[in-house]
Amino acid sequence: MIHERFRIFRTLNVGCWFAVLLFVSLPQSQLVRAQDNRHGLSAFGDLHLSPGFKHFNYVNPQAPKQGRLSMIGTAGLITFNSFNGYILRGDPAQGLSYLFDSLMVRNWDEPDAVYGLVAKSAQLSDDKKSVTFYLRPEAKFADGSPLTAADVVFSFDVLKEKGHPTYRLLLSDVESATAVDPTAVRYMFKGDQTRDLLLVVAQLPIFSKTFYATRDFDKTTLEPPLGSGPYKIAKFSQGRFVSYQRRDDYWARDLNVNIGRFNFSELRYEYYRDRTAEFEALKAKAFDLREEFTSKVWATQYDIEAVRKGQLIRATLPDDRPSGAQGFFLNMRRNKFKDIRVRQALDLAFDFEWTNKNQFYSLYERTQSFFENSEMKAVGLPTPAELRLLEKFRDQVPQSVFKKPYDPPVSNGSGQDRRLLRRASRLLKEAGWTLKEGKRTNSKGEVLDIEFLIFSPTFERVIAPYVKNLKLLGIPSSIRRVDPAQYQERLKSFDFDITTQRYVMPNTPGTQLRNYWTSSSANVPGSLNLSGINDPVVDALVEEVIGAPDRKSMIVAARTLDRVLRAGHYWIPQWYKSSHNVAYWDKFSAPEKKAKFNRSIIETWWFDLAKADKLKSSN
């Protein structure tokens, strides 16, 4: 099942010529004081690692660099036709992020901290309206050409102008990027909600300006792009696999942020059009590893000899990230879903308890919140701080938000809870949908019918019982399965009634929330606001989250936003689990400590030659 598409500048460390050039290049009002430069950044200024740290705490610095990891990547991505993953067009291959470096990279043991990669240090202005990054002069692209501030500026400009709508929304309040000199770039921000923008720009991929001088950035292509990251595309077969080779000449391989990371000589992503065939291929050793998202398979189909002998490992890895929001999202651009009572009725008709017991082997918990499995989830009555925020909107929100947050109904587990179905029937009637010849019909004679849009047969068994309950309510419902390319196009153009999606919330949610729930994204093709939420209160609360001056205030704002979103009934919440179920052949080893906020397999595991030899000799 779906469970799942930013340095301290020290003149002693560089040549004196650079220090002189820097002070000559900057206006007097913007002279940089060395003590103001930092080796990392975070939304609220907190950094756990000191300058000069040796490596991240969740890596093995002595991990051998060897071997191949062949795997299934993101569940449900069953084809690709492009090596451009930063535009709206096409179905990009998985793993493209490993081709491109960024100014800074995440430490996955901290909620939002980033540390220097291409940029050695950064300075945030006192008014937080600009941030200046100081680049390492040794940074290079894979062809040996230098990576300069001009490339960073180009990357920002092209993403904002031609990139996927997600980037355009994220960067809407980034006013400009300017090359101060070849090794310094300054970003300017506008508006008051600038807290997270420094993290956004610090993690943008960096493209070669020279490479794209002769290529159209906004075109799909299977030409491998020129990157500066740890891997390069080695081989591929469109729609079948793509293989990445670790670059021995990678310029940043010995930096502290990379020690113990990227240990596999080859990363290979496999593609299968059917989950059953994919599972059979795993058992046949056609590839090495996959995360299991189907609870029935995890519970019943791994009782095989290879598992019993300890050759095929079943591991459950803890996941401390916010689980986020997974559910059936209702497209409110369709008139039939505009009445909140209709949306409430649809919620009542879905029997999670029966589904979890009979199809998921009770492996899941019910999702209740848009910030599930995190301290941002609203619980109980609003706190005084939440009430102060809610009072601003008392006349604009349902009075229910001043009480306990909405939780989805709990059924008797029968699959057809008559009590809940009767409540749903009453709501539909109140909304003007009466039964006529067994079908819900409004005063215009229109029938309330529903189509569930999917791309994989896996979900059919989950939706089918739900469809049965809807038909009992007089709502003709069907399941429409299309190929993955058509599915993506229909999502981009919002051509669906109901579809399933999961949004994974970051530990410090920021500008990306605009893409999920605000009016500015409601009608932008390709946005993640699938329900078409267009509510000024949601807009205002999203800005409260983005603009919170400290983590405590951010949590209060997120909980308040959660209450309002849940009261809007924009979705039918599904399920979650705070762990990863992973199956892999026993030829890998991992650090003793796992990253707190990341699965970290690709970045920190390594090929264990002794284990691989033992596995091979046992065949």
Find all residues with CB under 8 Å of 274, minimum gap 6, and list them: 457
* Angstrom distance (rounded) from CA 608 to CA 556: 46
Nearest-CA neighbor of 537 among 567, 564, 569?
564
Using a pLDDT cut of 70, give the percent of the chain over it.
94
Using a pLDDT cut of 90, give the percent of the chain over it.
80
Question: Would the pLDDT of 240 be above 80?
Answer: yes
One-letter identity of residue 285 = K
Question: Would the pLDDT of 60 be above 50?
Answer: yes
Question: Would the pLDDT of 275 be above 60?
Answer: yes
Lowest mean pLDDT among 14-18, 27-31, 401-405, 441-445: 14-18
Within a 10 A sphere around the Cβ of 592, how many other Cβ atoms? 6
User: Which CATH architecture best describes the domain 325-576?
Assistant: Roll (3.10)
b/e 257-292 (16+ beta carbons within 10 angstroms → b) = bbbbbbbbbbbbbbbbeebeebbebbbeeebbbbbb
pLDDT of residue 577: 85
Q: State the pairing for strand pair 579-585/312-318.
A: antiparallel
* SS3 sequence of 199-260: HHHHCCCCCCCCHHHHCCCCCCCCCCCCCCCCEEEEEEECCCEEEEEECCCCCCCCCCCCCC
User: What is the DSSP-derived secondary structure letter of residue 410?
Assistant: -
Question: Would the pLDDT of 418 be above 90?
Answer: yes
Read out DSSP for 417-428? Answer: -HHHHHHHHHHH
User: What is the DSSP-derived secondary structure letter of residue 334?
Assistant: S
| Mean pLDDT in residue range 596-607 | 94
Q: What tokens were used for 67?
A: 């071997």
For the chain, give every domain's residue range: 273-319+579-619, 325-576
User: What is the DSSP-derived secondary structure letter of residue 527?
Assistant: -
Which range, 2-6, 228-232, 522-526, is most confident?
228-232
pLDDT of residue 31: 34
Q: What tokens were used for 440?
A: 């819900």
| Mean pLDDT in residue range 371-380 | 94
* Angstrom distance (rounded) from CA 408 to CA 571: 10
* Angstrom distance (rounded) from CA 565 to CA 570: 7
Question: Would the pLDDT of 32 be above 80?
Answer: no
- Cα–Cα distances in Å, from 429 out to 351, 433, 438? 21, 5, 13
* SS3 sequence of 66-110: CCEEEEECCCCCCCCCECCCCCCCCCECCCHHHHCCCCEEECCCC
* Angstrom distance (rounded) from CA 260 to CA 268: 20
For helices 536-547 and 551-567, the axis angle rounded to 10 degrees is 160
pLDDT digits (tens, 9 = 90+) for 480-526: 999 888 998 999 999 999 999 988 788 899 888 999 999 999 999 98
User: What is the DSSP-derived secondary structure letter of residue 592?
Assistant: S
Question: Would the pLDDT of 122 be above 50?
Answer: yes
Which range, 141-155, 156-170, 576-590, is most confident?
141-155
| Mean pLDDT in residue range 343-355 | 98
* Angstrom distance (rounded) from CA 31 to CA 330: 52
pLDDT digits (tens, 9 = 90+) for 539-564: 999 999 998 999 999 999 999 999 99
Q: Is the separation of the CB atoms in 598 and 110 below 8 Å?
A: no
pLDDT of residue 296: 83
One-letter identity of residue 497 = D
**How many angstroms separate the first and last alpha carbons of the chain?**
32
pLDDT of residue 271: 95
User: What is the DSSP-derived secondary structure letter of residue 119?
Assistant: E
pLDDT band at residue 34 under the 50/70/90 scheme = very low
* Angstrom distance (rounded) from CA 428 to CA 437: 16
Nearest-CA neighbor of 454 among 476, 477, 483, 495?
483
Q: What tokens were used for 370?
A: 């848009």
- Cα–Cα distances in Å, from 53 out to 47, 82, 101, 107, 115? 12, 38, 20, 12, 10
* Angstrom distance (rounded) from CA 193 to CA 201: 14
Q: What is the mean pLDDT of the chain?
A: 91
Three-class DSSP category at 189:
strand
Q: What tokens were used for 245?
A: 């080779």
Which range, 9-18, 271-280, 461-470, is most confident?
461-470
Q: What tokens were used for 160?
A: 């904002």
Find all residues with CB under 8 Å of 118, minimum gap 6, and list them: 101, 102, 103, 104, 133, 135, 136, 139, 147, 152, 206, 228, 252
* Angstrom distance (rounded) from CA 500 to CA 458: 12
pLDDT band at residue 76 under the 50/70/90 scheme = low
pLDDT of residue 294: 82
pLDDT band at residue 28 under the 50/70/90 scheme = very low
| Mean pLDDT in residue range 47-75 | 95
Q: Is the separation of the CB atoms in 79 and 91 below 8 Å?
A: yes
What stretch of H or E contains 299? helix 295-300
- Cα–Cα distances in Å, from 117 out to 121, 206, 284? 9, 11, 40
The DSSP bridge partners found for residue 104 are 116
